[in-house]
Structure 1
């Protein structure tokens, strides 16, 4: 079972899945649900980056028990049995791999106490200590569960992509998506821009678009990853004092340009597209317009729960002491089996 809170704070994804290895790994999603955060929890997590050390440690424990409680409620509600483990990603507060640290709160030991089940957690820290970006981690699942596609594109808080290049799986973050668009939608008293309708009504600000497209991150080689700190430093200041609808239209264009540039440069013919941003039809239309590729949008189950599914899979690999992080994707010194077992 995998639990994975989104960076855009749209809720807690819980996925109960079965995995079987014959000639290759197969999976089945048996039950899944997204639990929206109550307002108090959304505010706590959003403000976690500003807490004192003592307050943050308190929230780390408190959120771990909250996750455990929600998982236990999910198990009871669905009469689930024969659960081998819980894989819990936690909520990212800090992500600064160049300084050798990343922090996902939600203590896995608290999840174990609340559920009585083995828990694998803290999937990113080991990779960062080994010189990697600690992200993206999902490529191990793309490689072993979704290898029928040229690439897997995720449109979540950030967009990232994984693909095979020179006989190895590479992956990297492309650009912010919902972490910016949702924040802008809140100015219209909406939690997100449904179908991209708000952005569709706006006009592109060419000056802003150029400033966004020339940010240093986009010209850097992979592996590379993004965090909220980068948005606070490099993105949000650029968006001030411009009409919000036009900012949304411009930022959506920016996302589509950055993603299509990666797809076109790598000559990708069929791309699996998942994550909450997939429902932003204005964005996906723009990506399709700018590429000659087939952008494959799967059933809702995969769109919504692919990341939670793969973290569950990573937990299975970790319990078997098998590789679950690819150095070709993260930039760490070698492939490894990551995650703390409670």
Structure 2
């Protein structure tokens, strides 16, 4: 039975709330609906950065000391506003939506401590928008010993099955962190984080150029990447670990470029993201024949070029070239996952998060 789900995603890049409608039975995608976006204000982004800093001290997933309570209220309100604007713009009534998939904002991801914290009050959200809300997608996986990420692979598989690609295909999502889904037919589904996505580059652009990101990769295109620095960075133990494996946005924050020209710094960090993605190839069962790039990084033309150079002769294409919406994929995925959760279907697998057995998850808050 097909259901109409509204997915909400606020990623590690702290840019805003993505909204996307999808019609699915949790196995196949019948149709994509419209999508929308509600950016965080500068004040909200600043509040979330403070929350990320304070969350490092958390030892219990439900605790919201100090600034975290304020940040949770801001996240919940931003999501409620995003849904209200989306419904109004697209002339949809709440009754037409069966379920909302609400990821919340990750402020701490420490699976080795069996701890993952996403802030956002689902019960309050459900009451305001008058639609059932599924949330807390990652908790069951982490409690069972899984990495709790990445969670989009089952959706990537549904998308890839709708396009014809010969041989193993990898879907790369370049958000704050980069992750991949390796799909080979209907049987093999492997996923892991590969390293930094846009987080290091965005933080660098903000620090050095007072810009939130490198638009189209134009700034990095003017610089030269330091391949020796990249080679040293790739010697960190994480890169040699087999999948599944996952990261926190700040895991590479200690890497310092030193005194370099700003464009060279941007080029080096962009190339590092591409190199870290390509570094996963020897850890996969077969060499992928095609790569499909989604997320914010799909718009960074310099990053796409650098990835092409490192995975040749495989093809590299942006998700929008296939009619997918690179900006909406993660939001769509959480709509898809909400329907899977309602039906008791697995959200994660041993080869995607390292969980011992396929795990369902999610909790429903009723209006």
TM-score range, shorter chain: over 0.9
Residue 36 of structure 2 aligns to a residue in which SS? strand
- After TM superposition, the structure 1 stretch with the greater mean CA deviation from structure 2, 73-82 or 272-281, is 73-82
Residue 302 of structure 1 aligns to a residue in which SS? coil
- Among 95, 98, 101, the alignment partner of 1:87 is 101
Contact 1:61 / 1:110 at 8 angstroms: preserved in 2?
no
Contact 1:65 / 1:110 at 8 angstroms: preserved in 2?
no
Report the Cα distance in structure 1 between the residues aligned to 2:73 and 2:40, rounded to whole angstroms: 17
Residue 45 of structure 1 aligns to a residue in which SS? helix
In the superposition, the TM-score normalised over structure 2's length comes to 0.86
Aligned to 1:190: 211
- Among 250, 274, 289, the alignment partner of 1:256 is 274
Residue 279 of structure 2 aligns to a residue in which SS? helix
Displacement of 1:163: 1.1
Report the Cα distance in structure 2 between the residues aligned to 1:10 and 1:63, rounded to whole angstroms: 12
Aligned residues: 337
Aligned to 2:342: 319
Report the Cα distance in structure 2 between the residues aligned to 1:62 and 1:195, rounded to whole angstroms: 30
Contact 2:196 / 2:276 at 8 angstroms: preserved in 1?
no
Report the Cα distance in structure 1 between the residues aligned to 2:228 and 2:217, rounded to whole angstroms: 21
Aligned to 1:29: 32
Displacement of 1:20: 4.5
1:121 aligns with 2:142: no
Displacement of 1:301: 4.8
- Among 304, 312, 317, the alignment partner of 1:284 is 304
Q: Which runs of 5+ in 1 are unaligned?
A: none
1:57 aligns with 2:77: no
Contact 2:80 / 2:125 at 8 angstroms: preserved in 1?
yes
Aligned to 2:15: 10
Residue 341 of structure 1 aligns to a residue in which SS? strand
Report the Cα distance in structure 2 between the residues aligned to 1:49 and 1:296, rounded to whole angstroms: 33
Displacement of 1:240: 4.2
Change (3 A) 1:116 1:260: same
Report the Cα distance in structure 2 between the residues aligned to 1:26 and 1:62, rounded to whole angstroms: 32
Report the Cα distance in structure 2 between the residues aligned to 1:209 and 1:327, rounded to whole angstroms: 30
Aligned to 1:334: 357
Q: Which runs of 5+ in 2 are unaligned?
A: 1-5, 55-63
| Higher helix fraction (1 or 2) | 1
Map Cα deviations across residues 156-203 of structure 1 (whole Å, 9 max, x no partner).
Answer: 111111114694311001111211111111121221101111111122
Contact 1:84 / 1:118 at 8 angstroms: preserved in 2?
yes
Displacement of 1:14: 0.5
- Among 160, 171, 175, the alignment partner of 1:146 is 160
Matches within 5 A, 1:212-251: 212-232=233-253, 234-235=254-255, 238-251=256-269
Aligned to 2:200: 180
1:302 aligns with 2:316: no
Report the Cα distance in structure 1 between the residues aligned to 2:32 and 2:228, rounded to whole angstroms: 45
In the superposition, the TM-score normalised over structure 1's length comes to 0.92
Report the Cα distance in structure 2 between the residues aligned to 1:259 and 1:62, rounded to whole angstroms: 33
Contact 2:84 / 2:129 at 8 angstroms: preserved in 1?
yes
Aligned to 1:71: 83
Contact 1:199 / 1:245 at 8 angstroms: preserved in 2?
yes
Map Cα deviations across residues 32-87 of structure 1 (whole Å, 9 max, x no partner).
Answer: 01222111111111221233723313432442233123212221222113111110
Map Cα deviations across residues 78-97 of structure 1 (whole Å, 9 max, x no partner).
Answer: 21131111101111100000
Aligned to 1:158: 177
Aligned to 1:100: 114
| Pairwise CA RMSD | 2.0
